[in-house]
Each structure stands twice: as structure tokens, then as C-alpha cells.
Amino acid sequence: MHKDTVVVAGGRPEHVHDAPVNPPVVLTSTYRGTGAVTAEDRSYARLTNPTWEAFEDVLARLENAPCPALSYASGMAAVAAALTLVPVGGTLVLPRHSYQGSMQLARRWQERGIFSVRTVDVADTRATLAALDGADVLWIESPTNPMLEIADLPALLAGARERGVLTCVDNTFATPLLQQPLDLGADLVVHSATKYLAGHSDVLLGALVCATAGLRERLHAQRTLEGAIPGPFEAWLALRGVRTLAVRVERSMAGAAELARRLEQHPAVMQVRYPGLPGDPGHERAAAQMTGGFGSVLSVVPRADAAAVEDLVSHLGVWTPATSLGGVESLIERRRRHHDEPRSVPENMLRLSVGIENVEDLWEDLRAGLDALADR
Ligand SMILES: *Cc1c(COP(=O)(O)O)cnc(C)c1O
């Protein structure tokens, strides 16, 4: 089955007469049962919930996983669960341009002496492989946030496997439609379902997808004990979002590609970072390892200082000035307004998450702002 059919057909109730077409939101804290509890029993709602199971089934099929995904209360709950795979006293290799929350959490655990962190430029394959000596877990984002660098996933995942290093790919930016890390050799995939999967900026949810049932079992037992579980309605909203994932991704990606081309030509723009542009440093890698497109996040460095760029953002009408990404509405943000953003991210750089609005309206809004910058 094609992925754009799976998003619609997966996670449905049994095909029997009079069954509801959609899975219900199952609100219960416990399940009926007598006798010894077996691994197949639902038992208690911290272990599992039928509404999560529907979401977990679709996501696993999208990522070509051999076992259901695990849903979490947020993307960060999933990240935190994955980071516990770094043994105490072990070493985590982390891209220097990773999701803020992941970097901060890793740093805190390093400060507490739990494990040590090596940061790498994940686009530099040789340096990243060299950093794997004696390491325990390699964390990868590709494209990276917010620089949109592309990691050589097949080379890094194979190199990590040879060295016995566990690999975890945060696939939030690419979505399982454009990139399937398990097929490329990853042990674990992380999602902030808050972004593209749910897709409407109305819910927080996270997920892990495992390459083996053994790893899933271990993480499931841990999720049950730590309790970072989603509410059934949140899982239902995310599943409802997944139904339109393919059309949203296709539409927003076309808009992003068009805007990247036009932005590149604008005199007030110094640089556009988007792997879909032929001149982008990550273009060839992305073309080889991403399936069917380059995503709908891009970053733009205008020829103006941070204050002028903030002024541009505050005058936009169609774009929403906000953090986050992957929703139907286009969001724009100067990333360095977060004081924890790495200094290697230009102070005046804007990250754009292209939504599904008409691309001409998105362009007119941006163009007017950039024209005003050029006139200053
Ligand atoms: C947003 C995000 C997260 C964290 O997810 P939340 O749902 O906000 O907790 C992790 N990784 C990436 C790449 C993200 O964009």
C-alpha cells in the first residue's frame, strides 16, 4: 500500500458491519480482567489505550517498523525517553544544530554527571564518524533545525552500527513520507507529532518508532513506569491530522520550493537555506536519501540586522509570527530571539514553516516586507 493510502486507511476499527469508521476516543483508566495478567492484557490505562493504539499502528506502518509505535505526552517526552538509552557514564553524540529542547535536556543530564555529550556538525560525515569512537548513542536530525543541513544518513547509520553505537533519528522535519530512517539502518525514530503529523497547531504529542520488538518492549515498560503518556483525545487529534498528512505535505512543500526560488532572487536576501535548491550544500544528499521532496521548512538570512528583521516579522499579515512548524498555517520566526539558540545560527536569520495557504498571498506578504528592508 502507498503511504498516502496508509495515512487514510491505517488505524481503523475492524471492517465489520455497523462498526464505526473512526476509532472512538476511549476514556477509561482501567480494563476488565481476572486471573494472572499477561503481556497481551491491556490491564491498566497507563500501559496502553485503544485510541493511542490506532495512532501507533498508522505511524509504525508509515515508518516501515516491525512493531507498533509508542506515543508520548509530547515530542520532548519521547526525546527524554530515547535519551535514557544512553547508559550512565556513557557518551551521546549530538548535532550542534539540534532541536533546542533536546540539546538543553542532554546538557542538563551532562551537568548532573549522568552522561557526557559530544556535539558535532552532522553534515560533516568524517567528523561525526570520528566522534563515535567510544560513544553509546548517535542522535541525528536531518534536515537540522534551523540550519537545514543534511546528514549522510546511510553512511552515518552504517558507521554507527559497525561501532556498536545505537542510533536515533529525529524525523520530525522530514515526516515519514519523505524519509524512512529505519530503512536506512536507524535503531529508533523520534517524532514531535505536534508538528506535521497532527498538523493543525492544536495539540502536543510525541512518538518513538523502534526497529526491533525488543527495543520497543524495553521502552514500553519504561513509559508505563515513568507515565509520560498522552491523553486519548490528543492521540485522536493527531490521528485525525495524519489522515491529511500526504496532501498537507505535498501542498506545503510545493509552496516552500516556490518561495525558496523567489526569495533567492530578492535583493534584500543574502542567503536561503533549503535543501530543495540546486545550489544548497545539502541538495545532492537530500535528493538521494529523501523520498519525493525536501520538506517545507526553510531559513532565510536577510541583508539587515536583527532589529530590522524583527520589524519585518511584526508587520506581516498572512504569516503568523510564532515558534513551531508543520501546521496548516505558515509560521515565521527569528530563531535567535530564543537566547539559548546556538551562536552559530546567524542573529538575523528567519526560519519559515510554510503552510497550505495560497503561495501568492504568502509571497506578497514577504515580498512587501523585504522590499521595505531593501529601501531602508
Ligand atoms: C518540536 C520538536 C520537538 C519537541 O516536540 P514537542 O512536541 O514540542 O515536545 C523535538 N524535535 C523536533 C525536531 C521538534 O521540531
State whether 76 and 193 are in the same domain: yes
Q: How confident is the model at residue 153 (pLDDT cuts 50, 70, 90)?
A: very high
pLDDT at 356 over 90: yes
Query: Does ligand 1 have an atom closer than 6 angstroms to the CB of 100?
Result: no
**208 CA to centre of ligand 1 in angstroms:** 12
Query: Does ligand 1 have an atom closer than 6 angstroms to the CB of 144?
Result: no
Is 46 considered catalytic here?
yes
State whether 54 and 203 are in the same domain: yes
| pLDDT tens figures, 201-220 | 999 999 999 999 999 999 99
Q: Decide which of 187, 213, 242 is a domain's last residue.
A: 242
CATH number of the domain encompassing residue 294: 3.90.1150.10
Mutate to test the pocket of ligand 1, among 72, 76, 142, 299 (most ligand atoms within 8 A of CB): 76
State whether 286 and 150 are in the same domain: no
Largest CA distance in the chain: 77
| pLDDT tens figures, 232-263 | 999 999 999 999 999 999 999 999 999 999 99
> What's the pLDDT score for residue 198?
98
pTM of the model: 0.97
Looking at residues 351-359, what average pLDDT do you find? 98
> What's the pLDDT score for residue 376?
78
Looking at residues 73-93, what average pLDDT do you find? 98
**30 CA to centre of ligand 1 in angstroms:** 30
**165 CA to centre of ligand 1 in angstroms:** 23
**99 CA to centre of ligand 1 in angstroms:** 7
> What's the pLDDT score for residue 108?
98
**Alpha carbon distance 170, 130 (integer Å):** 21
- Looking at 99, 248, 251, 334, which residue is catalytic? 99
State whether 237 and 252 are in the same domain: no
State whether 215 and 258 are in the same domain: no
- Looking at 3, 61, 152, 195, which residue is catalytic? 195
Is 195 considered catalytic here?
yes
> What's the pLDDT score for residue 374?
84
State whether 33 and 158 are in the same domain: yes
Q: How confident is the model at residue 107 (pLDDT cuts 50, 70, 90)?
A: very high
Q: Decide which of 242, 260, 288 is a domain's last residue.
A: 242
**75 CA to centre of ligand 1 in angstroms:** 5
Is 170 considered catalytic here?
yes
Per cent of the chain over pLDDT 90 is 99
Is 99 considered catalytic here?
yes
> What's the pLDDT score for residue 89?
98
Looking at residues 125-135, what average pLDDT do you find? 98
Looking at residues 34-46, what average pLDDT do you find? 96
Query: Does ligand 1 have an atom closer than 6 angstroms to the CB of 75?
Result: yes
State whether 232 and 254 are in the same domain: no
Per-residue 3-state assignment (H helix, E strand, C coil) for the chain: CCHHHHHHHCCCCCCCCCCCCCCCCCCCCECCCCCCCCCCCCCECCCCCHHHHHHHHHHHHHCCCCCCCEEECCHHHHHHHHHCCCCCCCEEEEECCCCHHHHHHHHHHHHCCCCEEEEECCCCHHHHHHHCCCCCEEEEECCCCCCCCCCCHHHHHHHHHHCCCEEEEECCCCHHHHCCCCCCCCCEEEEECCCCCCCCCCCCCEEEEECCHHHHHHHHHHHHHHCCCCCHHHHHHHHHHHCCHHHHHHHHHHHHHHHHHHHHHCCCEEEEECCCCCCCCCHHHHHHHCCCCCCCEEEEEECCCHHHHHHHHHCCCCCEECCCCCCCCCEEEEHHHCCCCCCCCCCCCEEEECCCCCHHHHHHHHHHHHHHHHHC
| pLDDT tens figures, 46-69 | 999 999 999 999 999 999 999 999
Query: Does ligand 1 have an atom closer than 6 angstroms to the CB of 76?
Result: yes
Mutate to test the pocket of ligand 1, among 172, 205, 338 (most ligand atoms within 8 A of CB): 172
State whether 135 and 250 are in the same domain: no
Query: Does ligand 1 have an atom closer than 6 angstroms to the CB of 281?
Result: no
Please state the domain count of the chain. Answer: 2
Query: Does ligand 1 have an atom closer than 6 angstroms to the CB of 351?
Result: no
Atom index in ligand 1 nearest the CA of residue 172 equals: 13
State whether 165 and 58 are in the same domain: yes
Query: Does ligand 1 have an atom closer than 6 angstroms to the CB of 119?
Result: no
| pLDDT tens figures, 164-204 | 999 999 999 999 999 999 999 999 999 999 999 999 999 99
> What's the pLDDT score for residue 375?
84
Average per-residue pLDDT for the chain: 97
What is the domain range of residue 153?
A: 3-242
Atom index in ligand 1 nearest the CA of residue 173 equals: 13
Q: How confident is the model at residue 271 (pLDDT cuts 50, 70, 90)?
A: very high
Q: Which residue has the cell 525488543?
A: 214
